[in-house]
Chains A and B, each alone.
Chain A
Amino acid sequence: MRMKTSRFGAFYLSLFFVILYLPVLGVILYSFNASPSTAQWTGFTLDWYRVLFEDRVIAASFRISMEVAVITSIVSAIIGTASAVVAMRATAGMKRAIQGVMILPLLIPEVALGIALLVFFNSLNLPFGHFTLVASHSLFCVPYVYIMVQLRLKEIDRSILESARDLGATRWQATKTIILPLVMPSIVTASLLALAMSLDDVIISTYMSGPKTTTLPVHIFSMMRVGVTPKVNALCTLILVGMFFVVGLSQLFTKKIHKEDM
């Protein structure tokens, strides 16, 4: 039985979404304001975007963030998917062990995990940079890939796998030809989410960046600390557009795969 949504319910939900998206719209709107202050609207301009493109420091940190995010999402997709497949085949006890350690990074507040990694890498004398960033970002990205892939794995009909094995397929062949294609949409969505999370991380990156490898969010955070400037608005808007492009792409991809399924 579904209850009809009351008028009040519809109103509440709409109000909630207005408040949810109002701050985001505010940021976008004021990126086009000619005045450097939000106090007044003095006309439409694209100047702040031009200023942005001339900023070398932002370009450099954007590049670092992209490199780290792409590598992180690939690494996370591989480790996360492998873990989910391994957990599916492992004994019940081992499966519990894998799941237990898998969610560990999600349960530790990021500051605490960040400090722990800082101390660890420091004592190993590892230089802070791409490696430390990717290694640390993977820690909170892999669990999400694992969760999304194993949700999909649960839905797979075990009898298909059994018949493949009966027909003489090796474990690896069965994985490659049956499991991987079936979970591919989940892997794609999950690795895009990993990309987004890596590109967005402020806390852990604060401790993992080296002197020449400041990531974009760490740089934006230091800009925001100074106060509101339309340049930050423009930058945030561009990131938002880029991210929505990625989400759209993943939606398209998932739909296409689903069509092929049928």
Chain B
Amino acid sequence: MQTLKRNILAVPILVWLGLFVGIPLVFVFVLSFLSRDSLGTIVFQFTWENWQRVFDPIYLRVFRNSLLLAFLTGLVTIVVGYPVAYITSNLEPKKRALSIGLIMLPFWISSLLRTYGWMILLGNAGIINNVLRALGIIDKPLPMMYKFGTTLVGTAYMLIPFAIVAIFNSVDKLDRSLLEASYDLGANKRQTFFNITLPLTLPGIAGGFTLVFIPALGLFYVSDLLGGGNTIFLGNMINTQVTRGRNRPLAAAFSIAMIAVVLLVISIYGRIAKDDAEGLFL
């Protein structure tokens, strides 16, 4: 009775999330096995066709592009973000607070603005080309937009605060007496970093990677604006199928496949960090 009393209020919360997340996911799963007529209307007829197309070599390339982008985004944000987190955690209190503030501020800045900023910087008439031309380094504008790398830069830029925060939390918890012990025992900076700091902050790295990898799979507006559709990614593909192609069952199959990839990444994270998905946020 006591237990019931303590738990009864949790029911509406579970129902609410079940209704708006659980049931819709079941709907998409079912939809991925349905057909459609020539107008795009869904027909209740079982088919494997959508799933066959997911594994079609042409679409597998879209998958490969997305996985590569998400993986490289994770890699870049960790490599660039790790030193930022590490240096920040060693700063004196005032500078440290400032640095943390500057790392968190982008969360409040419109993500479209942050993507658009790269169009302003990298475009043929953009700031970087203007500066290089003014300095006489180039005559013709350097083409930097609409490449795979442009999308990578934009995606990494968008998501790097997540990686830094995750790494920072784990670097900051690091017991510094272990580093001292390592130095006392004669290890140099490099050895200490690779043998103590890095292994102990691995959960933070894995967490940061996961938090970046998941959204990187689907940020279609970044690849649309910066990649210009030259490389097709999962997010763009799903979005196009829904908004223009009117092929919702195919989009549903791709969405389920995308979620499967996410689950795989989370289970790898669980192994490395010895934690479950909740550890990513709590």
Contact = CB atoms under 8 A, between A and B. Distances in A.
A joins B in a complex: yes
A168 interface: no
A34 B153 CA distance: 29
Nearest to A192: B108
A3 B258 contact: no
A98 to B, nearest CB: 6
A24 B114 CA distance: 6
Contacts of B114: 23-24
Interface string A4-39: 110001101100110011111011001000000111
Interface residues of B, number: 86
B125 A37 contact: yes
A150 B117 CA distance: 35
B239 A91 contact: no
B252 interface: yes
B10 A39 contact: no
Given A117-B20, A119-B28, A109 B217 contact: yes
Given A113-B21, A120-B24, A203-B220, A1 B110 contact: no
B112 A115 contact: no
Interface string B5-25: 011011001101110111111
Contacts of B23: 120
B157 A115 contact: no
Interface in B205-235: 214-215, 217-221, 224-225, 234-235
A111 B125 contact: no
B180 A1 contact: yes
Interface in B97-150: 99, 102, 105-121, 123, 125-127, 130
Contacts of B28: 112, 115-116, 119
B189 to A, nearest CB: 9
A108 B262 contact: yes
A98 B242 contact: no
A111 B218 contact: yes
Contacts of A86: 9-10, 13
Interface in A210-238: 217, 220-221, 224-225, 227-228, 232-233, 236
B123 A109 contact: no
Contacts of B160: 20
B116 A224 contact: yes
A139 interface: yes
A30 B282 CA distance: 40
A98 B116 contact: no
Contacts of A109: 214-215, 217-218, 235, 258-259, 262
B235 A111 contact: yes
B255 interface: yes
A26 B116 CA distance: 9
Contacts of B75: none
A13 B87 contact: yes
A233 B123 CA distance: 15
22 contacts: A9-B83, A13-B99, A16-B80, A16-B84, A38-B130, A82-B13, A90-B6, A90-B7, A101-B14, A103-B278, A107-B266, A113-B24, A115-B248, A116-B24, A119-B252, A147-B282, A193-B107, A202-B221, A221-B112, A221-B221, A239-B110, A243-B109
Interface of B: 3, 6-7, 9-10, 13-14, 16-18, 20-25, 27-28, 31, 80, 83-84, 87-88, 90-92, 99, 102, 105-121, 123, 125-127, 130, 157, 160, 176-177, 179-180, 214-215, 217-221, 224-225, 234-235, 238-239, 242-243, 248, 251-252, 255-256, 258-259, 262, 266, 277-278, 280-282
Interface of A: 1-5, 9-10, 12-13, 16-17, 20-24, 26-27, 30, 37-40, 79, 82-83, 86-87, 89-91, 94, 97-113, 115-120, 123, 135-136, 139, 143, 147, 150-151, 193, 196, 199-200, 202-203, 206-207, 217, 220-221, 224-225, 227-228, 232-233, 236, 239-240, 243-244, 246-247
